[in-house]
């Protein structure tokens, strides 16, 4: 498995695991000895893809390209770079916006006040087209890059630059099954579904409606912090036109809000209000990620809590422990090797750690890797094939045992020879035991028993030791008292 992260000083780092099975081992214990720690550290390696340090070019978002060989990096200075994962070569740079030269000090820095300067809230790449969105509502489908595009013209996306006429946006996500659809939301900006048309326009397809007033008949404020598209099947989400072409459309959108709300919207049902709306925890929610099967979601808050909830009911399923600060990004992935029986949850946060959890079951912390700087975003390279790590004798024995445990076919001739040798050895042992028994029967008489006297019972020079049979038990203090009387 390979994980790519971006941090606050502009570094993009690559974490390569030596073998696919290494993620199933528990995190290193703080009280373990140095040798044990060095062995566990050898399970992964950390290297830099972008090594230029600049806080003005802090990484805001990292996403894998559709070819899985390049990473898309959005930085604070308004640039989007396409970087080769293996070599770290920057192959293309897009200047999306120009950052403000004058830095205004905010009037109030307490609480969860949003950033006022223009910054990225979402990036995506599909069929060679990079899609970007900023908090000012500027959405762009950039011209297709030849080294990322496919030869199929039917998958080509339109090129456009449009504005949603909405500011204070906090998140944008592209529907992976059909990149023409994207959703935006923010501060007092309800979830809005958009579609990029062939004539270079952005049209609104669906817009959410706020929930009813609370029990005091007060309006519920809107502050969406993150959203995700729920996975859908083609059969459950398509429409046929006169040309009998199939267009996949989003079915459900899952959101988290600053006011502790977890909500699920059903787009296909025609409802604008959420079908599920519950409060999770006691602190504002920050990020949300969905499992690949779309049955569960993991939400995090501003204090470092991570909770798994059901998408169907909003009920709490479980929690993940061990965070020391807010989680800035997370993702759920399926099992990465044959030994894993459950999926994984990967998180990064302001405590500078990359954590890998079991997504289901006991939700154990499998890995905890310190990466020196505050981490802003992460992505997974699914095409990476890990190299096999050198095996010691103990590992080889475990591998041989696992071979028989998994009923992997073995050489039948070798097995027959092995069991034949075992039967011959057993027969010879039985014959020797019978011969010894016959010798004992022919000797007759009673066996002589030799008792070895311990050195502690031996007496001084020249004095003989009484026989064991004539030895008397030492008198107790009560008996001695009676004799004196």
Whether residue 130 contacts residue 80, with contact meaning beta carbons closer than 8 Å, is answered with: yes
pTM value is 0.73
- What phi and psi, each to the nearest 5 degrees, are found at residue 174? -100, 140
pLDDT value for 405: 56
* 301 closest CA partner among 365, 363, 258: 258
Token reading at 353: 């750690």
pLDDT value for 448: 54
How far CA 94 is from CA of 54, 72, 73, 144, 477, in Å, comes to 18, 11, 10, 12, 100
Q: Over the stretch 413-465, which tens digit does the pLDDT of each residue have?
A: 666 777 787 878 877 766 776 666 665 555 555 555 555 555 555 554 444 54
* Bridge partners (DSSP) listed for residue 1: none
Confidence of residue 39 (pLDDT cuts 50, 70, 90): very low
Residue whose tokens read 């959410």: 208
Whether residue 195 contacts residue 203, with contact meaning beta carbons closer than 8 Å, is answered with: yes
Angular region, 281: left φ>0, alpha ψ -120 to 50, beta rest: left
Mean pLDDT is lowest, of 35-44, 49-58, 260-269, 377-386, for 35-44
Mean pLDDT is lowest, of 203-207, 221-225, 308-312, 387-391, for 387-391
Per-residue pLDDT, averaged over 145-158, amounts to 77
Whether residue 126 contacts residue 175, with contact meaning beta carbons closer than 8 Å, is answered with: no
Token reading at 400: 């041989």
Q: How many residues does the chain have?
A: 485
d(CA 214, CA 373) in angstroms, rounded, equals 42
Whether residue 260 contacts residue 282, with contact meaning beta carbons closer than 8 Å, is answered with: yes
pLDDT value for 17: 79
- The sign of the dihedral angle between the CA atoms of 216, 222, 224, 227 is positive
d(CA 381, CA 3) in angstroms, rounded, equals 6
Q: Over the stretch 261-316, which tens digit does the pLDDT of each residue have?
A: 999 999 987 789 999 999 998 999 999 999 998 899 999 999 989 999 999 999 99
Per-residue pLDDT, averaged over 19-29, amounts to 47
pLDDT value for 47: 83
| DSSP-based three-state secondary structure for 394 | helix
Confidence of residue 142 (pLDDT cuts 50, 70, 90): very high
By the 10 Å C-beta count (0-12 exposed, 13-18 middle, 19+ buried), 59 is classed as buried
Q: Over the stretch 392-424, which tens digit does the pLDDT of each residue have?
A: 566 666 666 665 555 555 556 666 777 787 878
Token reading at 233: 């099947």
* Bridge partners (DSSP) listed for residue 186: 169, 189
69 or 114, which is more confident? 69
By the 10 Å C-beta count (0-12 exposed, 13-18 middle, 19+ buried), 415 is classed as exposed
151 or 425, which is more confident? 425
d(CA 158, CA 162) in angstroms, rounded, equals 12
CB neighbours of 70 closer than 8 A, spacing ≥ 6?
Answer: 64, 82, 83, 84, 85, 91, 148
Q: Over the stretch 63-99, which tens digit does the pLDDT of each residue have?
A: 999 888 899 999 999 999 999 998 889 999 999 999 8
d(CA 201, CA 78) in angstroms, rounded, equals 23
DSSP letter assigned to residue 188: T
Q: Which residues of 371-392 are buried (b: 16+ CB within 10 A; e: fewer)?
A: bebbbbbbbbbeebebeeeeee
């Amino acid at each position: 498995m390979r994980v790519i992260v971006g941090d606050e000083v502009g570094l993009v780092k690559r974490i390569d695991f030596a073998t696919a099975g290494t993620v199933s081992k528990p995190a290193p214990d703080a009280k373990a000895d140095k040798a044990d720690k060095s062995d566990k550290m050898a399970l992964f390696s950390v290297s830099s893809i972008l090594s230029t340090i600049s806080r003005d070019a802090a990484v805001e978002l990292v996403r894998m390209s559709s070819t899985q060989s390049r990473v898309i990096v959005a930085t604070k200075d308004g640039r989007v770079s396409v970087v080769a994962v293996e070599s770290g070569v920057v192959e293309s740079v897009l200047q999306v916006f120009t950052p403000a030269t004058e830095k205004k000090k905010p009037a109030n820095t307490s609480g969860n006040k949003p950033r006022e300067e223009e910054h990225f809230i979402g990036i995506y790449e599909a069929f060679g087209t990079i899609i970007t969105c900023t908090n000012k509502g500027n959405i762009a489908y950039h011209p297709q890059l030849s080294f990322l595009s496919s030869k199929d013209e039917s998958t080509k996306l339109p090129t456009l630059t449009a504005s949603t006429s909405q500011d204070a946006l906090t998140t944008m996500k592209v529907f992976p099954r059909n990149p023409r659809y994207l959703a935006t939301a923010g501060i007092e900006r309800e979830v809005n579904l958009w579609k990029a048309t062939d004539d270079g326009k952005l049209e609104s397809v669906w817009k959410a409606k706020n929930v009813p007033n609370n029990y005091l008949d007060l309006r519920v404020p809107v502050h969406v912090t993150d959203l995700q598209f729920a996975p859908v099947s083609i059969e459950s989400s398509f429409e046929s036109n006169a040309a009998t072409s199939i267009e996949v459309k989003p079915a459900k959108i899952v959101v988290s809000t600053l006011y502790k709300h977890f909500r699920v919207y059903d787009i296909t049902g025609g409802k604008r209000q959420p079908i599920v709306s519950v409060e999770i925890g006691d602190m504002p929610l920050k990020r949300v990620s969905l499992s690949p099967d779309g049955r569960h979601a993991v939400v995090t808050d501003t204090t470092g809590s991570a909770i798994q909830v059901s998408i169907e009911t909003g009920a709490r399923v479980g929690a993940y422990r061990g965070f020391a600060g807010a989680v800035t990004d997370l993702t759920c992935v399926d099992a990465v090797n044959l030994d894993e029986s459950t999926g994984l949850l990967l998180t990064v946060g302001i405590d500078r750690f990359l954590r890998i959890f079991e997504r289901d079951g006991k939700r154990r912390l499998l890995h905890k890797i310190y990466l020196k700087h505050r981490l802003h975003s992460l992505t997974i390279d699914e095409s990476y094939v890990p190299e096999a790590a050198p095996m010691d004798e103990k590992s080889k024995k475990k591998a041989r045992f696992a071979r028989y445990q998994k009923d992997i076919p073995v050489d039948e001739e070798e097995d027959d020879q092995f069991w034949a040798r075992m039967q011959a050895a057993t027969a010879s042992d039985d014959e020797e035991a019978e011969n010894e028994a016959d010798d004992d029967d022919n000797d007759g008489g009673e066996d002589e028993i030799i008792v070895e006297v311990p050195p502690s019972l031996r007496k001084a020079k020249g004095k003989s030791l009484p026989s064991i049979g004539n030895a008397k038990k030492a008198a107790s203090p009560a008996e001695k008292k009676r004799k004196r009387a």
